[in-house]
Amino acid sequence: MTGAGDDGRLLSGLLVVDFSQFLAGPLAGLKLADLGARVIKIERPGVGDLCRNLYLSEINVANTNTLFHAINRNKQSYAADLKSASDLARVKRLVEQADIVIQNFRPGVIERLGLDYETVKAINPGVIYASISGFGSEGEWRDLPGQDLLAQARSGIMWLTGNADHSPVPIGLAIADQLAGNFVVQGVLAALVRRATSGAGAHIETSLLEAVLDFQFEVLTTHLNDPERKLPRRSAVNNAHAYLAAPYGVYQTSDGYVAIAMTPVDRLGQILGCEAIAAMTDPQSWFDRRDEIKALLRDHLVLQTTAHWMERLKAEDVWASEVLDWPSLFRTGGFEALDFFQQLDLGDGQTIETTRSPLRVDGHTLKSPRPAPAIGQHNATIDQEFGLAGDDKRETTK
């Protein structure tokens, strides 16, 4: 294992063998790759990760979708048919040399392939093995398809977003996948610390459902300690958090929107020049009369521009923000200072623009121009480097 270079690649020298597809597992691999680990993505010959053809929109670059590039950049691809005895033998020799293995098959699949944790541990005792499932490895949901929207649906989180009269509202991002991927990385990094002192490997497990449940830990704790176990109550007006009092929410102005977080309602009324709100001095009423207060704010804030209100709110250090769309965000000096985008070099003069790692290490942003690989792009290199070359005859097993 080599040390981190001057560019902040803290995991330089670590080898990750990644069997995962779609988003949660590949996202974990991406985070490790950005920190300097070498990630070898195992893919089916000719097919690859099914995410290669999962299109979010009509946008594609170099005949591949942007989603695949976003989460599989900075990796290598090794094509192997895991039902072929010779290919499986090669992959096992590669796994034997890995520091970290990632898989997100449904429970039981990786066991049938002979690449489960106990089997891998037998040939590589110090391996850190990460598993992500949809709903855990036990229980009545273990064999159900693990997909982000379905995990959100079963987690209760859809009853927290939207107003009181709305139907269940999913969060408009793949939060279950992204949270699970990041949680796995936390576990892997902790396991690396333990291995450095004891030599012991570890099996890190999470599921999409557990990730979304953890995401709700604040409100679930409130619910669990409520003697009546009341369900969350979404505000009927501009709901932004089912458990927080007024003024917490997003309000329309004459030319845009402002978001206002926690602040004393009576003080806010004074700052905004709204006498009806300024007169509400009882903090208990700020939740009990939440909808009434927010309706008053809604009717008052729409009378002036966003800039007018933000000037007042900033002057009094109120927790508030204008609500930006992407183009207006990109034009701000605050965003420009983050240097958050990077270009991936696809060759032949083609590039794709995407985000970088959100981390800085010793002042360095973690960028890499390497795009997502083609299926099996690195087979020859990996075969030679890891001593996998040999009998090329593929034998399909049942």
Contact status, residue 148 vs residue 177, Cβ threshold 8 Å: yes
Q: Which pLDDT score is estimated for 48?
A: 93
Tell me, what's the pLDDT at 250? 98
pLDDT for the residue 235: 95
pLDDT value for 56? 65
Do 100 and 37 meet the contact criterion of CB atoms below 8 Å apart? Answer: yes
Using CB atoms within 10 Å of the CB of residue 110, give its burial: 0 to 12 exposed, 13 to 18 middle, 19+ buried: buried
Phi and psi at residue 130, in whole multiples of 5°? -115, 125
Residues 6+ apart with CB under 8 A from 99: 1, 14, 15, 16, 37, 126, 127, 128, 192
pTM score, whole prediction: 0.92
Alpha helices in 109-167 (DSSP H): 109-113, 117-123, 148-155
Fold classification of 15-215+368-385 is: Rossmann fold (3.40.50)
State the pLDDT at residue 389. Answer: 80
Supply the residues annotated as catalytic.
177
Q: What is the pLDDT of residue 4?
A: 46
Distance (Å, whole) CA 352 – CA 70 = 9
Residue 59, pLDDT score: 74
CA atoms of 242 and 227, how far apart (whole Å): 18
- For each successive 10 residues of the chain (398 residues), what is the average pLDDT? 58 98 97 98 95 75 81 97 96 98 95 97 98 95 95 97 96 97 98 97 98 97 94 94 95 98 97 97 95 97 98 97 97 97 91 94 92 96 90 42
The per-residue pLDDT for range 229-238, each reduced to its tens digit, is 999 999 999 9
**What tokens were used for 375?**
């299926």
Q: What pLDDT sits at residue 57? A: 67
